[in-house]
Structure 1
Amino acid sequence: MKGEARMDLLSLRCFQVVARHEHISRAADELRVAQPSVSRTIARLESELGVPLFDRRGRRIRLNQHGAAFLRRVDRALGELEDGRRELADAAGAEGGSVTVAAETLLTLTELLSRFRATHPDVDVRLHQSPPDSMARRLRTRDVDLCLASQPLTGPALASVELLREDVLLAVPSGHRLADRQGVDVAALDGEPFVTPSRGHWQRALTDQLFAQAGARPTIICEGNEPGAIMDLVAAGLGIALLPAMARDSRPHEGVAWIRLQAPGCHRVLTLVRHKDVYLSAAARRFADFTVEHFRRAAPSSDGPLGG
């Protein structure tokens, strides 16, 4: 290190955001500061540390090995300070508070949120729609307090509780050749056009898994990042899709017929996940407890409270 480093919290926060985006202008937008200011802050921090934190090629930047090592420490340090702030707010008896929740699809949260807000109107709930491959990182960096995940999250120090285990059904247009069937196997779907979210979403992962077990590949004709639109696309006759029983029960659609897919593992397991090394505020604990109880009343399947 060249001389004595004088890095401050604002510089570290700036580095953290730039490292996440690997893009100066996007980081500046999030930080709500001018782009040249972000560039100067990163340059000053690198000078203080005596090593480059990013590799630069033209206007593109990539976190290098020094930056990745430093980011792990910065995430930990800033996270501990944020945990301290939350813990002191709880100790001081601050009312209300906030909780930030990520879910793959917000449909899962609608009824839960309505009931939670009715009983806890003083708690500010913030939502993020997030793919599972970013959830573990967002929990670790305190971007979110809790995640509702429909596929297993991997990573150290994650604690989860099962909320719901439900069937996944085959949705087809009402006039489809299979619409009157009670059940079908995967072989009967060979060549059928599938509507599915893009890779990373649980429906796509399950579709690929079931077809792989049958030694086949699905014919994907539409994929995107709007899971809530899939039922409407099926009703419009665009293709068929795998959807949870919750979608059928919460939003009936006359243009869709539902069929049981006769394949092992054709179900969804919804879990509530937190990071055990991150302080969970009083507001977040209230939301977690409420969520477990909400799904327990709907369909008893929980295996206990969140660890930690």
Structure 2
Amino acid sequence: MAQERSTDDDTGAARIPLAAASLLVAIDDHGSLSAAARALGIAQPSASAGMRRLERRTGLALVDRGARGTTLTADGLRLVPRARDLLRASDAFEADVATLRTGHGARVVVAASMTIAEHLLPGWLAGVDPATSVDLVVVNSAGVERAVLAGEADLGFVESPEVDPRLHARVVAVDELVVVVAPEHPWARRTRPVDVAMLVGSPLALREVGSGTRETLERALASAGAVLPAGPALGSTTAVTATVRGGRHAAVLSAVAVQGDLDRGTLRRVHVEGVDLRRELRLVWARGRRPGAAVQDVARVVTERAARPRD
């Protein structure tokens, strides 16, 4: 009597698993099997075993295994677009299932640093599909990275100049820090810029450690050969500006965060020379965690709207 063949062995009729498609795409994206394994958060031996199973299943040599690493063959490269289509279709299927199961649109959790959350993100999110529920978590840049890495947020927006290597990062906008003082501060009447020595020698109201604004200032001063002095460490831009309005302290804050005060005349901008206070604002998401369709849509909308010129 003929023996019945299992449908889940390497030569049976079972469909190729999504994990295999993910591995194939990751090799194409990252250039090698070892880099793909790191991006997917799996051990390299597991990735190698998964690729061998895929090659047995397809009957094709999909990777070249050489002394310099493992890369895709011509057949492997030809299958990558189909693998991408398969993953996109899976994302769409999962999103539709979630919508039908809950009776509502998809839910995306976004963590954002304070300046971005208060002054930029509302406009960036305005184009998101109304059926998608976006929950916003507002913390400093270090807190954003922790939330995304822990899986507590799908996407994050940070102001810090460096990003944890376990995160993907995409620059979405450029910001500038400016020096501000109260109208009665002596610098408010200056006609010439202050220099770095004057800046670090003056009482400064500072954001807390972990803030992207503080980290940007520290790195800019270090590049100019100066060190950030001690000063009041405050947990929000609102607290810093309140301290500055007292008349004794200066502060270095995002231009978008203080524009209203500058327009009303409650703060004055002081030009500074010898230090570059520009910074890049980044969208971050976890390596090895494939974003769903709704998350990808939010990322796309935000990236497009952030690239538009500000009014």
The structural deviation recorded for 1:144 is 0.5
What is the match of residue 267 of structure 2? 256
What is the aligned partner in structure 2 of residue 177 from structure 1?
186
Q: Is the 8 A contact 1:104 1:131 kept in 2?
A: yes
Alpha-carbon shift at residue 238 of structure 1 (Å): 4.3
| TM-score, length of structure 1 as denominator length | 0.61
RMSD over aligned Cα atoms:
2.9
Q: Distance in 2 between matches of 1:190 and 1:115?
A: 35
User: Within 5 A, what are the aligned runs for 1:154-233?
Assistant: 154-156=164-166, 158-179=167-188, 180-181=190-191, 183-233=193-243
State yes or no: 1:267 paired with 2:278: yes
Residue 116 of structure 1: aligned partner: 125
Q: In percent, how many aligned pairs have the same letter? A: 21
Q: Which moved more, 1:203-212 or 1:87-96?
A: 87-96
Contact 1:162/1:272, CA 8 A, preserved across alignment? yes
Structure 2 gaps of 5+ residues are 1-40, 43-89
* Alpha-carbon separation, structure 1, partners of 2:122 and 2:291: 19
Question: Displacement, 1:195?
Answer: 0.6
Ranges of 4+ aligned residues in structure 1 off by more than 6 Å: none
TM-score calculated relative to the size of structure 2: 0.60
For residue 103 of structure 1, the aligned residue among 107, 112, 129 is: 112
- Alpha-carbon deviations, 1:203-247, whole Å to 9, x = none? 222333344444444443321212233223212324111112212
Question: Residue 263 of structure 1: CA displacement?
Answer: 2.9
Q: Post-superposition shift, 1:139?
A: 2.1
After superposition, the Cα gap between the structure-2 partners of 1:212 and 1:244, relative to the gap in structure 1 and judged at 3 Å, is same
Flag the 1:93–1:254 CA change in 2: closer, same or farther, 3 A. Answer: same
**One-letter code aligned to 1:267:** R
Q: Deviations over 1:20-67 (max 9, x none)?
A: xxxxxxxxxxxxxxxxxxxxxxxxxxxxxxxxxxxxxxxxxxxxxxxx
Q: Is the 8 A contact 2:179 2:252 kept in 1?
A: yes
